[in-house]
Structure 1
């Protein structure tokens, strides 16, 4: 994953794409897509979905999207209990 893209506010984006099988339209199939993208516009995901609609026969049913910042400030957790063993 490119650090330069992450510094430009790209984040790891995962999409679960449900689509109908061409031969069995009542059956849904799942496809997981993962790439660096910019939230909330998701231009890379939209480009992929446009390609899907033009070139792939399976009709899209739904798309569920989640994203996570890869470059973030450090998080510190303090322990709730400290034990000393001698």
Structure 2
């Protein structure tokens, strides 16, 4: 799907800030920012990424905070058939 099709189907931009610790330096808190188009309120892509992190990456998660913004609402889009140019 293109980004426009995803927006029309209810997807929005999800941004997550992931706080984690490195195995060798457990007293240092690091952050990682992740963004992708996802569907609220279930956020399947975000939770898939978090499961991947826990399964494949050595740095244990400390916390995750995220926000979601729907890029386009149903009333904001309309189909335009013609275009007029004014000079």
Question: TM-score, normalising length from structure 2?
Answer: 0.79
1:1-86 correspondence to structure 2 within 5 Å: 2-72=3-73, 73=75
Moved over 4 A (4+): none
Question: TM-score, normalising length from structure 1?
Answer: 0.80
Structure 2 unaligned blocks of 5 or more? 77-87
Structure 1 unaligned blocks of 5 or more? 75-86
Q: 1:9 & 1:34 partners in 2: Cα distance?
A: 16
Any idea what SS the aligned residue of 2:53 has? helix
Larger Rg: 1
Aligned residues: 74
Select the structure that is richer in helix: 2
Q: Deviations over 1:47-73 (max 9, x none)?
A: 001110111000000000101111134
Q: 2:31 & 2:20 partners in 1: Cα distance?
A: 7
Q: 1:45 & 1:34 partners in 2: Cα distance?
A: 9
Any idea what SS the aligned residue of 2:40 has? coil
Any idea what SS the aligned residue of 1:13 has? strand
